[in-house]
Amino acid sequence: MNANFNFRYLRNIESSFRLIRIIVFAVIVGSFGFAAYMAYLSHKTDRESRQKIYVLDNGGKSIMLALAQDQNANRLAEAKDHVKTFLKLFFNQEPDEKAIAANMDQAAYLGDESVTRHYYDLREKGFYTKLIQGNATQKIMIDSLSINMSRSPYSCNIFGRVMLVRTSNITFRKLVADCHLIDATRTDNNPHGFLIERFRVTDNSDIETINRDQYEAYR
């Protein structure tokens, strides 16, 4: 009887140790699983936080939350606005030397040396001097702007007209240009984070010149 009791006692101890081992193993597996889940959750939270941009609005009184995925979806719109901003800075000119220089300084932040080279070419040809001396104003009208965002650098084609307003008449010129865009760091002077490369004007021929009074009457 005593031997039978000892046998059952030993079996109970063995069962207890087996149960303890199972419990310990389950705790270890659970701990690893919990740690893995927390690591995944942390990574997911960090990834989601990187996909959010907080923008101060109304002088910092409110905060608007914009998703980076929406920003990526609007990257084409940003690219077009970048080019349009550049074109307006480059081609919209008043007969004021300081205003022209300020526009060109700002336009230079949006492009590479191809932009400044085109500006220097126009300056050497006396275009800006004639603009100031003739008290003329130049404005650009963008007809179409297409950008291929499938691969970088992004190719861009520009079609528009340039209106040169003088005291007595207005000259309309065709504007056909192309360039490439690359991603760049966003700055105060380059908020969209693009840089224009290889900018060139392929056609800037005259379309027509009309009397200014005729244009005003037409408007």
pLDDT digits (tens, 9 = 90+) for 71-99: 566 899 999 999 999 999 999 999 999 99
- By three-state DSSP, how is residue 72 classified? helix
Residue with tokens 């060109």: 104
Asked if residue 37 and residue 84 are part of one domain, the reply reads: no
Asked if residue 46 and residue 99 are part of one domain, the reply reads: no
What residue numbers bound the domain in which 162 lies?
73-218
Does residue 114 sit within a domain? yes
- By three-state DSSP, how is residue 59 classified? coil
Asked if residue 78 and residue 27 are part of one domain, the reply reads: no
Give 198's Cβ-side CA count (13 Å radius): 10
Asked if residue 97 and residue 33 are part of one domain, the reply reads: no
Does residue 191 sit within a domain? yes
Which of 192, 183, 196, 198 minimizes the C-alpha distance to 108? 196
Helix (H) or strand (E) holding 197: strand 194-203
Task: Output DSSP code: residue 198.
Answer: E
Task: Confirm whether pTM is higher than 0.75.
Answer: no
Residue 162: give its domain's CATH number: 3.10.450.230
pLDDT tens per residue across span 94-145: 999 999 999 999 999 999 999 999 999 999 999 999 999 999 999 999 999 9
DSSP 128-187: HHHHHHTT-EEEEEEEEEEEE-SSSSEEEEEEEEEEEE-SSEEEEEEEEEEEEEEE----
Name the domain count of the chain.
2
